[in-house]
Amino acid sequence: DAGVIQSPRHEVTEMGQEVTLRCKPISGHDYLFWYRQTMMRGLELLIYFNNNVPIDDSGMPEDRFSAKMPNASFSTLKIQPSEPRDSAVYFCASSLAGYGYTFGSGTRLTVV
């Protein structure tokens, strides 16, 4: 299995632009998580899905952030409009119940 695949690996964008991060979970996994990692706040859970349904989005910082999971093999995290404080590494992880999350390699977002 190729693992959890995230794209792009790096994204540099200007403030105010829309940013879309993509994730392909491991086939058969029924949970998908989006995390954000910064030096100051560590790993923060933004939102997670179970069987493609959003379960808890309480970690989404504000309305500029949205996430979708249109099918079991694809999810997106969108930021519109982006701001410099959104700069971070965004991770997607998937699991088959349990806590053995498999993380992707992350997308490093820089908003200038």
Partner 1 sequence: GQQLNQSPQSMFIQEGEDVSMNCTSSSIFNTWLWYKQDPGEGPVLLIALYKAGELTSNGRLTAQFGITRKDSFLNISASIPSDVGIYFCAGPPMNRDDKIIFGKGTRLHILP
What does the H/E/C string look like for the chain? CCCCEEECCEEEECCCCCEEEEEECCCCCCEEEEEEEECCCEEEEEEEEECCEEEECCCCCCCCEEEEEEECCEEEEEECCCCHHHCEEEEEEEECCCCCCEECCCEEEEEC
* Contact characters 3-22, partner 1, x per CB under 8 A: -x------------------
Q: Does 96 bind partner 1 (CB under 8 A)?
A: no
Q: Does 49 bind partner 1 (CB under 8 A)?
A: no
Judged by CB under 8 A, the chain residues 66 through 95 that form the site for partner 1 are 91, 93
Q: Does 105 bind partner 1 (CB under 8 A)?
A: yes
> Which of the ranges 14-22, 48-56, 64-72, 80-88 carries the binding residues for partner 1, by CB under 8 A?
48-56
- Which residue in the set 33, 36, 60, 111 belongs to the binding site for partner 1 (CB under 8 A)? 33
d(CA 69, CA 11): 21
- Which residue in the set 19, 21, 25, 31 belongs to the binding site for partner 1 (CB under 8 A)? 31
d(CA 84, CA 27): 34
| Interface residue list for partner 1 (CB under 8 A) | 4, 31, 33, 35, 41-43, 45, 48, 50, 55-56, 91, 93, 99-101, 103-106
